[in-house]
Amino acid sequence: MPFRLLLLTLLMVAAAPLCRADDGYRLWLKYDLVADAGQRAQYRAAAQHIAFEGKDAVLQTAATELQRGLQGLLGQPVPVLAKAAAGSTKHGILLEIAPPTNVSGSAQTVLESYRIFSRGAQLVVAGGSGAGVIYGVFALLRQVQTGQPLAGLNVSSRPRIQYRLLNHWDNPNGTVERGYAGSSIWKWNELPQRLDPRYTDYARANASIGLNGVAINNVNASARYLTAEYLQKVKALAGVFRPYGIRVYLSVFWAAPKVIGGLKTADPLDPQVKQWWAAKSEEIYQAIPDFGGFLVKANSEGEPGPQDYGRTHADGANMLAAALGTHDGIVMWRAFVYKAGSGDRFKQAYEDFKLLDGQFAPRVLVQVKNGPIDFQAREPFHPLFGAMPKTPLVLEVQLTQEYLGMATHWVYLAPLFKECLDSDTQTKGPGSTVAKVVDGSLDQHRISGIAGVANIGTDRNWTGHPMAQANWYAFGRLAWDYTLTAKAIATEWTKMTLTREPQAVATIVEVMDKSRDIYVRYTTPLGLHHIMGQNIHYGPEPWLADAGRPDWTAVYYHKADSAGLGFDRTAKGSNALALYSPGVQKEWGDAKTTPLNYLLWFHHVGWRQPLPTGRTLWNELVTRYYTGADSVAWMQRRWATVQPKVDAALFADVAARLQIQQREAVWWRDACVLYFQTFSKQPIPKPFVPPTRTLAEVKTLVDLYQLK
Amino acid sequence: MPFRLLLLTLLMVAAAPLCRADDGYRLWLKYDLVADAGQRAQYRAAAQHIAFEGKDAVLQTAATELQRGLQGLLGQPVPVLAKAAAGSTKHGILLEIAPPTNVSGSAQTVLESYRIFSRGAQLVVAGGSGAGVIYGVFALLRQVQTGQPLAGLNVSSRPRIQYRLLNHWDNPNGTVERGYAGSSIWKWNELPQRLDPRYTDYARANASIGLNGVAINNVNASARYLTAEYLQKVKALAGVFRPYGIRVYLSVFWAAPKVIGGLKTADPLDPQVKQWWAAKSEEIYQAIPDFGGFLVKANSEGEPGPQDYGRTHADGANMLAAALGTHDGIVMWRAFVYKAGSGDRFKQAYEDFKLLDGQFAPRVLVQVKNGPIDFQAREPFHPLFGAMPKTPLVLEVQLTQEYLGMATHWVYLAPLFKECLDSDTQTKGPGSTVAKVVDGSLDQHRISGIAGVANIGTDRNWTGHPMAQANWYAFGRLAWDYTLTAKAIATEWTKMTLTREPQAVATIVEVMDKSRDIYVRYTTPLGLHHIMGQNIHYGPEPWLADAGRPDWTAVYYHKADSAGLGFDRTAKGSNALALYSPGVQKEWGDAKTTPLNYLLWFHHVGWRQPLPTGRTLWNELVTRYYTGADSVAWMQRRWATVQPKVDAALFADVAARLQIQQREAVWWRDACVLYFQTFSKQPIPKPFVPPTRTLAEVKTLVDLYQLK
C-alpha cells in the first residue's frame, strides 16, 4: 500500500505540469475539494450516498452529476444506490420525481420545478420531472460549492420564464458570427459519427444554470440544416442534450423551399410551400421527437422573408407554426428588422410589428432585442415591450460582446440585463416592467421565452475572456429567476469559479458590478450609441460618415454639430419617443428629466448646456470619458489585490487583458474627445490632461484594424 | 506523511475525471512514466542530474525541457545543476555548446548540429549552439520515449536543409485559410499584452522536430502586420519563440507601401517604394533582431505584385532582399502563379519563373509547391525543380489537408513528401533528386529551405484529426533529414504518442504507411486530379464545368469524353511534358511507360485501353475506386485491433472519424464511377456491385455542403 501511494504521488508530480489545474475549461463546475476540513466533514456526513429509482434519463444524469460533483468536493466516493437499497437510517441524498401540487403556472415550469428538503435522514431533491431533479441537483451542488450549509435546507424553486435558450450564431463552415472565443464548437463534418466530448460538457454547463434550449445555428441561416443529411447531425446533438433536459431549435433560412425543396416560391401562403414546411417539420420530429422549434430572421439585413411575396411577418410565422402540426414546438420570430433609408432605425421594428399584434398564432413568440438599435453598451428598453400585449415576446440579449469590447474587455453583463428587465414600460400602469412582459404575467400569456446570443467557442476556456464565463452564467440564472440581483449572481459565480476567500470575493464582485458602467463611460457616455468601428465593431469610429447605408454610419446616431450633440427623438425630431407609453414619454421627452444615461438617445443637447451634475454637456462628456478610462486603472489595481487568492494562470490572463482594456479605453477616450472637440471647439476641462496625440493619429490606429 | 500522501491520493481521485489524460494537447511530448520498471531504473541511473553552464537562452530552455521530460518519464525529480557543482563521478547529463570541427556545410546547419556521446560518467549533449543543444535534448528524450537504450549512445546529426519553416495561412480575424482544426492560435487582439501559454507549447513542439522558422500569417497577406501596432504583437511572439531557436517570418502584402505607407505606387523600382521597404525592414529589425525575413505571394490569384508595374518577380524579390540591408534575413518568393485563360495551368509557374533563373539576388529563394497544380493527393514533381539551377528553391508542401479529406480522413503525408523528395529530376543525370535540388547540394547553393503549410488550430488536439499530428511531426523530421523513411518516422511518432505495445505499433504504422495510397485510390486514382468540390474542396465534384475560370473546374483537368479520360500533356496536347528533362519526358511521354499513378496526368487514355495490370482503363479505374473504398473498411478493422493498447478517448475519436471516412470514400467512389460511366458507357466490372444510388442523388449530397 505505501508503495502504491508513493507511485501515485510520483505519477501526480509527473503529470502536474502537463495538466493545468485551471485552464478555465471546467467553468463554474470545478468541484474542487472543499478546503475547510470541518465543513467538509459536515457535507460528508450528510451525503453518504445518492439514491433514486426509475429509468428517467434526466434523473439518471442528475444522479451521475451529483456523484461526480460530490466526489470532487468531498474528496471521497459517494455511491449511487437504488432507492430500496439505500435504506432510511443512513444520511444520504434522495432524488425523486414528484410533481408538486397546489402550484400555478405553466405546465412546463411546474415540471421543471424542484424542492430540496429533509425527510428523516434523507435530504430529498424532488423535481416535477427529471429536469426538475437536475436543476435541484445543481442547486444543491451550488450550495456546497459556495460553502452554504445543507442542514435544514428547505428550498423550492421554479423558473419564471418557460423557454430559456442560447442562440448560437454559428455558421456551417465553423466560424461564429460575432464570436470572439475561437471557432464554433459544433464540428459539422464530424457529425453524426463523432460526438466531441465537449458537447456533453456544454450541456452540463447549460443545465447547471437552468437553460433548456439551444438554437444551434446562426439566424443568418444556411438551408443545409434542413436537409436529411444535416438533420442526422442535429439529431446526434439532440441526443447528447436530451439527458440534460435541453431541446434543440433550428434557425431556418426562409427560402429553403426554393433552395433545397426545388419549389419556385417561398410564399408562405402558397399551398406547396405550406406542404413543404409541414413535411419538413414532420421529418424533423421523426428524427428528434423533442425538437423545440424554429427561430427566424426574415426580411432583415438582406435575408429573404414573407415580405418578398407581399406577405407579413405574421403570415410567415403562422405558416411555420401550422407546419409544426401537433408536435410540441414553437416559432420564435425575430423583430430585428430595419430598412435602408426609411427613417429613424429606432422606430422600424415597432412600426413593422406593432400593428401585427393579435395576428400571430398561439405558438408564435416574437423575439425582441433588449434595445431598439443593436446590443449597444446601453440602450433604453425596446419600445415593443408592452406594446404587443396579445403576443408573447422573447427578450433577446447578447452574451457575446460584439459592442462591448469583444474578448479583451472585462464587462459583466448582468447589470445590463437587469436594467432592461427592471425597466418600467408603464403600459399597464407603474410596475409594468419588461420582466413582466417577458415572463407573460403582465398579459397572461401561456408561453414565455428569453434568449441569449452565446459567447461560446473552441477556446479552451469557452469564452475567450475568462470573466466572460460569468455572462453565460448570469444569463442562465436570470433566465431562471430575474429577481436575483446582479451582485448575488456575481458572488456565487466567483465563489464557484475563482476563489472562496471573502475579501477577494468582495473585491471581484465589486469590479464586476461596476464594469459595465465603466465600459459605457469610456465608450458611449450620456446616451451616445453606435459610434464603434465599422463592420468589425472594434474600437471607436465616431467620424464614420460613409457606409453602405446611412444607419451604418456613426454620424447618423450622434449628430454632432457646432450646436451640440445627440439624436433628437422628441416630437421636434424623429419622434421615436412617441412609441413609448405616456409616462415614459413624459420623463424622457424633457432633457431636464431624462436620466443622463439616456440623454443623447433622445435629445440634441447644446455643448454649453448645464447638466444636473453641475457641468456643461461638454465638460460632463469629457469627464466621463476620462474617469471611465481611469476606472480601468482602478480595475487593474483591484485585480492586483486578489493575486494570492486566485489561480496564478488565471490571474495573469485577466491582468494581461486588463492591460489591453486600459490601453483601448484610452483610445476610445482620445478618439471621442478629440473628434467631438472639433464640433464643441472647447478645451479639455481641468484637471484632465488633453490627449498627447492628434485625432489623425488615433484614426490611423483604428483604421489599421480594418485593413484587409 | 501518510496523511499527506492520503490527501494527495484523494486529490488525485477527485481531479481525475476533470483532467483527461489524453486529449491530444501534449502531442508527441507526452513524457508519461516509462512503464517497464527495469528500463526505468536504467534511465534513472543514467540521468541523476542535468548540468550546464552559461546564460544562453536556448541552452537554458533545453535544460528546462530535459528536466520536464525526464521527470515525467522517470517519475522522479531530476535536478538541474551548474556544471561545476555536478561533479564528474555521478551519472548525469551534461549540456554544452561546442561547435564541431571538421564539418562542412552551411554555418547555420553547423550551429544547429548536435552530438550525443559519453564522457566518463556523463552523457554529453553537445550542440553547435544553444539550438544544437535543444535539438540534441529532444533527440535524447525521443530515445527514452521510444524505449531505446542510452548506454553507448553516440549520435551526430545536423540538418540537411537550412530554413525549415511552418507557413501559417492565418488571417488577422482569427480564421485560417484552409484550416480544419479550429481557428488561428494567434490571438491578435490580445497581443502583445497577453501571451497565450499555447504559444510556448507550440514553440516546444516545433523545436522538438527541428523546425526553426514560422511565417505566422497568410500568404494572402494583410498589410496590417507591417504597421508599428502589429509589429509589437509580432515582436511578442518572436520573444516566445526565440528561446526555442525559432525565428519569425512575415508574409507581406505587396501593396503595403500604398495601403499603409501612403505612397502612390508599389512599383519595386520606384525610389520611394525602395526607401519605404528599407525603412520598414529596419523598423522590424529594431523590434525583432532575429527576424527571419519575408514570404511573398505576388501576382497570383488576385494578389498585387510587381507585374502590376511591368516589373518581374525578380525585380520584386530583389528589391525586398535589398531592403533587408545588412540584416540576416531572406526573401521567400512563391512561384505559385497562374493566369486565367493562358493555357495549361501546369506550365504557368515554369513559364513565369524559368527565364528568371540567375536574376535573383543571393538572399532570395523561390518557393515551389511539390507539384505543378495545387497540393493534390498525388502530383508529379514540379517541373521547376532542377530547372532553376542558379536559384535556391524552397519546397512547399501542405500539412493541412485541403485536398486530402480535411480533418475527417486519416492520411499520413510522409509518403507524399518522400515521393516528391525522392523524385529524380534527372537534370544533372540520374540521382538529381528533388531533395538534392532543395538541400542545395545539386547546384552548390549556400542556402536551402523547406516550408510546410501548417495544419494547426485552436482545437484542443491542435490538428483536428488526432492522426494529423503525425503530419506536423513528419514534416519536421523530414525537413531535418529527408533520408528518414516514412515508416521509421511513423514508428517513432506512434511510440511517443499512442502506444509502445509492439503489435499495436506495427498495426498503426502499417495503416499510416498505406493511408495515402488508399486516399488516392478512392478519390483520384491513376493520375486524376482537381475533381473535388468547388471552393471548399470537400468531396467529389468531377462534373464541375462552370466556375469563375476554366482552370477552377474539374472537366478542365480530367477531360473525360466518349473516347477516354485524362489530360494529354504530350506534344500532341499541352506539351507540359516538355518542361521536364529528356529522361523524364521519355518515361512519361509514352502511356505505356508512364507509371500508372501518373497516367492521366499526361495522357488521354481510351476507356478500353489495356493497362499493365491486365485490365482496361475503365475496369482499372473502377477497381481502384472500389478497392480504395474497401480499404477504408480495412483501416477500420485494423484500428479496432489496437483498442486495448491506446487511450480510450483517442481510440473512440479515431474510430468515429474512420466511420466518416468510410462513408465519404463511398461517396467519392459512387460519384466518380457513376459520373465517368456517363462517358465510358460500360458496366461496373464484377465482382464490384454497382452503386445503389443515382448520380443525381450523389450530386445532391455534395451540393448541400456548398449551400450558403
Q: 3-class SS at A452? A: strand
d(CA B593, CA B605): 13
* CB-based contact, A302 to chain B, within 8 Å: no
CATH number of the domain at B163-485, out of 3.20.20.80, 2.60.120.260, 2.60.40.1510, 3.40.1190.20?
3.20.20.80
CA distances A324 to A165, A212, A253, A282, A362, Å, are 19, 19, 16, 7, 12
Q: Which residues pair with residue B368 across a beta bridge?
A: B395
Residues 180-219 of B with CB under 8 A from A: 180, 182-183, 189-190, 193-195, 197
Pairing of strands B122-127, B114-119: antiparallel
Instruction: Write down the number of H helices and E strands in chain A.
Output: 23, 16
Nearest chain A CA: its distance from B230 CA (Å): 9
pLDDT band at B151 (very low <50, low <70, confident <90, very high): confident
From CA B518, how far away is CA B471, in angstroms rounded? 16
Question: How many Cα neighbours within 13 Å face the side chain of B227?
Answer: 21
Mean pLDDT of A581-599: 97
Question: Mind listing the pLDDT tens digit for each residue in B13-56?
Answer: 333 333 445 899 999 999 999 999 999 999 999 999 999 999 99
pLDDT at A104: 67
CA A216 from chain center: how many Å? Answer: 14
- Number of residues in chain B: 708
Q: Please name which of A679, A678, A667, A699 lies closest in space to residue A544, comparing C-alpha atoms.
A: A699
CA–CA dist B687, A401 (Å, integer): 59
Residue B103's pLDDT band, with cuts at 50, 70 and 90, is low
Residue from the list A2, A223, A656 with its beta carbon closest to the beta carbon of B194? A656
Cell reading at B43: 534511465
**DSSP for A93-114, written as a single string:** EEEEE-PPSS--S-HHHHHT-E
Hey, what's the cell of A467? 470573466
CB contact under 8 A, B12 and A14: no
**pLDDT averaged over every residue in chain A:** 95
Question: Where do the domains of chain B lie?
Answer: 22-157, 163-485, 520-567+604-704
Among candidates A76, A406, A704 on the partner chain, residue whose Cβ is nearest the Cβ of B260: A704
For the cut 90, the answer to whether the pLDDT of residue A151 exceeds it is no
Query: Span A692-702, mean pLDDT?
Result: 94
State the Cα torsion B554-B557-B559-B560 to the nearest 10°: -60
Under the banding of pLDDT at 50, 70 and 90, the label for residue B11 is very low
Q: Do B708 and A223 touch (CB under 8 A)?
A: yes
Tell if the CB–CB gap between A705 and B175 is shorter than 8 Å: no
Q: How many CB atoms lie within 10 A of CB A651?
A: 19
Residues of B annotated as catalytic (active site), given as ranges: 301, 374, 402
B459 contact residues in A (CB cutoff 8 A) = 458
Q: Do B75 and A13 touch (CB under 8 A)?
A: yes
Q: Say whether B210 sits in a helix, a strand or coil.
A: coil
Q: What angle do CA B92, B96, B102 make, to 5 degrees?
A: 125
pLDDT single digits (tens) A179-228: 999 999 999 999 999 999 999 999 999 999 999 999 999 999 999 999 99
User: What's the order of all strands across the beta sheet hosting A92-97?
Assistant: A80-82, A50-52, A92-97, A122-127, A114-119, A155-157
Q: Each residue of A15-70: pLDDT tens digit? A: 333 344 589 999 999 999 999 999 999 999 999 999 999 999 999 999 999 999 99
Q: Read off the pLDDT of each residue in B248-254 and give the average, rounded to a whole number.
A: 98
Torsion of CA B445, B447, B453, B454, to 10 degrees: 140
pLDDT at B21: 58
CB proximity A563 to B under 8 Å:
no
Please give the pLDDT value at position A325.
97
Contacts of A5 in chain B (CB under 8 A): 2, 5-6, 8-9
Contact residues, chain A, for B189 at CB < 8 Å: 180, 406-408, 538, 660
Q: What is the mean pLDDT of residues B254-278?
A: 98
Amino acid type, A369:
K
Contacts of B172 in chain A (CB under 8 A): 707
CB of A389 within 8 A of CB of A442?
yes
**Which chain A residue is nearest to residue B171, measuring alpha carbons?**
A708
Query: Cell numbers 544544437 correspond to what residue?
Result: B132
Nearest to A640 by CA among A521, A504, A517: A504
B224 touches chain A (CB under 8 A): yes
Model confidence at A102: pLDDT above 80:
no
Q: Is the ipTM of this complex over 0.90?
A: yes
Q: Is residue A615 pLDDT above 70, yes or no? A: yes
The rounded distance, in Å, linking the Cα atoms of B165 and B245 is 12
CA A625, CA A632: separation in Å to the nearest integer?
Answer: 11
Between β-strands A155-157 and A564-565, what pairing exists: parallel, antiparallel or unpaired? unpaired
Spell out the CATH class of B22-157: alpha beta
Q: Nearest Cβ partner of A708 from B193, B222, B229?
A: B222
Task: Give residue-wise pLDDT tens across range B338-397.
Answer: 887 778 999 999 999 999 999 999 999 999 999 999 999 999 999 999 999 999 999 999
pLDDT over 50 at A9, yes or no? no
Q: Do B707 and A30 touch (CB under 8 A)?
A: no
- Which residue, chain included where needed, has cell 469590479? A511
> Rounded to the nearest 10 degrees, what angle do helices B486-497 and B469-480 cross at?
130
Distance CA B653, CA A593 (A): 62
Under 8 Å CB pairs connecting chains A and B tally to 170
- Residue of A22, A315, A374, A568 marked active site: A374
Contact A18 B72 (CB under 8 A): yes
Q: How far is CA A154 from CA A42, A62, A87, A160, B65, in A?
A: 17, 19, 22, 19, 54
How far is the C-alpha of B579 from the C-alpha of B128, rounded, in Å? Answer: 41
Rounded CA Rg of chain A = 26
Sign for the CA dihedral angle at B477, B480, B486, B491 comes to: negative
* Contacts with A, B 226-285, CB within 8 Å: 227, 229-230, 253, 259-260
Question: Do the Cβ atoms of A708 and B253 come within 8 Å?
Answer: yes
Whether residue B706 has pLDDT greater than 90: no
Which residues in chain A are contacts of B70 at CB distance < 8 A?
A: none
User: For residue B101, how many other CB atoms are within 10 A of its CB?
Assistant: 6
Catalytic residue among A36, A301, A590, A703: A301
- pLDDT per residue as tens digits for the range A399-424: 999 999 999 999 999 999 999 999 99
Alpha helices in B387-468 (DSSP H): 414-421, 434-438
Write phi, then psi, for B569 (nearest 5 degrees): -110, 20
CB contact under 8 A, A707 and B223: yes
Is B661 in the A-facing interface, judged by CB distances under 8 Å? no
pLDDT of residue A292: 98
Please choose, from the candidates B199, B246, B141, the residue with its C-alpha nearest in 3D space to the C-alpha of residue B479.
Answer: B246
Range from A79-88, A546-555, B61-70 carrying the lowest mean pLDDT: A79-88
The answer to whether A162 touches A106, Cβ cutoff 8 Å, is yes
Is the pLDDT score of B274 beyond 90? yes
CATH of A163-372+394-415+449-484, one of 1.10.540.10, 3.30.565.10, 3.20.20.80, 3.20.20.70: 3.20.20.80
B122, B94 contact by CB (below 8 A): yes
pLDDT digits (tens, 9 = 90+) for B64-91: 999 999 999 999 999 999 998 887 789 9
State the SS3 of B589-643: HCCCCCCHHHHHHHCCEECCCECCCCCEHHHHHHHHHHHHHHHHHHHHHHHHHCH
User: In this predicted structure, what is the pLDDT of residue A247?
Assistant: 98
How far apart are the C-alpha atoms of B554 and B65, rounded to whole Å?
49
Whether the pLDDT of residue B565 is over 60: the answer is yes
Q: Does B151 touch chain A (CB under 8 A)?
A: no
Q: Scan for cell 455534395, then name that residue.
A: B702
Sign of the CA dihedral with A175 first, then A181, A184, and A190 last: positive
For A662, the closest chain B residue by CA position comes to B193
Mean pLDDT of A83-101: 88
Lowest model confidence (mean pLDDT) among A121-125, A339-343, B207-211, B230-234: A339-343
Q: How far is A682 from chain B (nearest CA, A)?
A: 30
With CB atoms and an 8 Å threshold, state whether A71 touches B12.
no
| pLDDT for B104 | 67
* Nearest-by-CA chain A residue for B702: A229
What is the full DSSP assignment across A172-204? TTS-BTT--SSS-S--TTTTTT---HHHHHHHH
Cβ <8 Å between B707 and A663: no
Residue bearing the bigger pLDDT, B22 or B557: B557
The catalytic residue among A96, A303, A402, A647 is A402
- Using CB atoms, pick whichever of B406, B458, B656 lies closest to residue A459: B458
Q: Which of A656, A660, A642, A640 has the alpha carbon at shortest distance from A705?
A: A660
A-chain CB neighbours of B8 within 8 Å are 5, 8-9, 12
Q: Which amino acid is at B283?
A: E
Strand-strand pairing, B213-215 and A605-606: unpaired
For residue A553, the one-letter residue type is T
CB B294 within 8 A of CB B252: yes
Residue B310 pLDDT level (bands cut at 50, 70, 90) = very high
Q: What integer pLDDT is reported at residue B525 of this predicted model?
A: 98
What pLDDT is recorded for position A706? 87
Do the chains contact at A704 and B230, CB–CB below 8 Å? yes
Q: Check CB contact under 8 Å for B14 and A71.
A: yes
Rg (CA), chain B: 26
Rounded Cα–Cα distance for residues A139 and A210 (Å) = 10
How distant, in Å, are the alpha carbons of A247, B82, B520, B626 from that of B629? Answer: 37, 59, 10, 5
pLDDT of residue A1: 35
- Tell me if residue A364 falls in helix, strand or coil: strand
The reply to whether CATH 3.40.50.20 applies to domain A520-567+604-704 is: no
Alpha carbon of B481: minimum distance to chain A alpha carbons (Å): 29
- pLDDT at A10 > cutoff 70: no
In 3D space, the residue among B549, B520, B552, B525 whose CA is nearest the CA of residue B676 turns out to be: B525
Write down the mean pLDDT value for chain B. 95
Mean pLDDT of A148-155: 93
Residue A564 CA to its chain's centroid (Å): 35
Read off the pLDDT of each residue in B588-617 and give the average, rounded to a whole number: 98
Q: What is the pLDDT of residue B483?
A: 98
Which grid coordinates are listed for A325? 402540426
Whether the CB-CB separation of B221 and B232 falls below 8 Å is answered with no
- Average pLDDT over every residue of A673-687: 98
Query: What is the arithmetic mean of pLDDT over A520-533?
Result: 98
The 3-state secondary structure of B500-565, one letter per residue? CCHHHHHHHHHHHHHHHHHHHHHHCHHHCCCCECCCCCCCECCCCCCCCCHHHCCHHHHCCCCCEE
Q: Strands (DSSP E) along B216-308, which ranges?
A: 247-252, 293-296
Phi, psi of B82 (to 5 degrees): -70, 150
Of A174, A193, A701, Cβ closest to residue B660: A193
